[in-house]
Homo-oligomer: A and B are copies of this chain.
Amino acid sequence: MESAFTVIAEPSRRAILHLLASAERSVGDIEERLRMPQPSVSKHLRVLREAGFVESRVDAQRRLYRIRPEPLMEVDAWLAQFRRFWSVHVDALERHLDRMSQVPAKKGKKR
């Protein structure tokens, strides 16, 4: 199977995923929003589907596609090993925000 990384290497596929991030959409919907030929959309959706990024359900003649998170989580997990390279900046920002907000959050575990 295609690796999650090679699948999202394609700009059109990232654009499709971006669209689906906000809502479930039909092929024709994607086609017109991205101004992309319909066979291209279908082909990219096939790749996305086979790699587990999306799933579809039938609605009359249309197929409605939506995000499946698993492969994206895999990418996220791979990225984890590098977060310490920029977490120092994030921590600095966090400290800054802590100083700014004078009301201490009682249950401070959630961001």
Contact = CB atoms under 8 A, between A and B. Distances in A.
Interface of A: 3, 5-6, 8-9, 11, 14, 17-18, 21, 67, 69, 72-73, 75-76, 78-79, 81-83, 85-86, 94, 108-109
B79 A75 contact: yes
Please state the number of chain copies in the assembly.
2
Contacts of A67: 82, 85
Contacts of A6: 9
26 contacts: A3-B9, A3-B11, A5-B8, A5-B9, A8-B9, A9-B9, A14-B78, A17-B82, A18-B81, A21-B81, A21-B82, A67-B82, A69-B82, A69-B86, A72-B79, A72-B82, A72-B85, A72-B86, A75-B75, A75-B79, A76-B79, A76-B83, A79-B79, A94-B109, A108-B108, A109-B109
